[in-house]
Structure 1
Amino acid sequence: MVIDFIKKEVTFDEKVLDLTKREFEILELLAKREGKIVSREELLQHFWGISDTAETRTIDVLISKIRKKLNNHYIKTKRGFGYYFEENET
């Protein structure tokens, strides 16, 4: 996978992915913090200014869509903590 932060493009399996602006932004944030867990709350606050996450599944839905486009590679979940980006999967 190649993420072009200038062109705002992601190439995966030799194809440019059709990511929405928000999907790209989430992937970009996680990739730039590779290996560091980012909570749902932090993502919601960062992108929407929302601090109460009890009622929203927005992040979960977007992460699911990104994962699908990446064939379930790179974005991992640490249950109870959040999401993280892992370039070199084992």
Structure 2
Amino acid sequence: MVLVRTLLLTTAMGLGCSALMPSHGHAAGDESTINRLCLAGFNAAMSHAGKTPPAGMGTFTCNCFLEQVNAGASIQSAQDICKQKAAERYKF
């Protein structure tokens, strides 16, 4: 669970995704950019931790984060929710 939390913190905060997600909405292209940044951060965090994530974990985690924030969740809440979901789904 600690690793998943670290990954979410790295992808969301370390890459500044919150700065790309204005509260008044954003264009579809922004979501693509956010997803790419999130996946890059996820992969970098996994590499730095010396871990190989299960197939699909990065996409699942980043999609979850984006969905949560788009639904109005705070960055912290989205991280917490997606951390739990990823931990349950991937037993990682």
Short-chain TM bin:
0.3 to 0.5
TM-score, normalization by structure 1: 0.34
TM (normalized to structure 2)?
Answer: 0.33
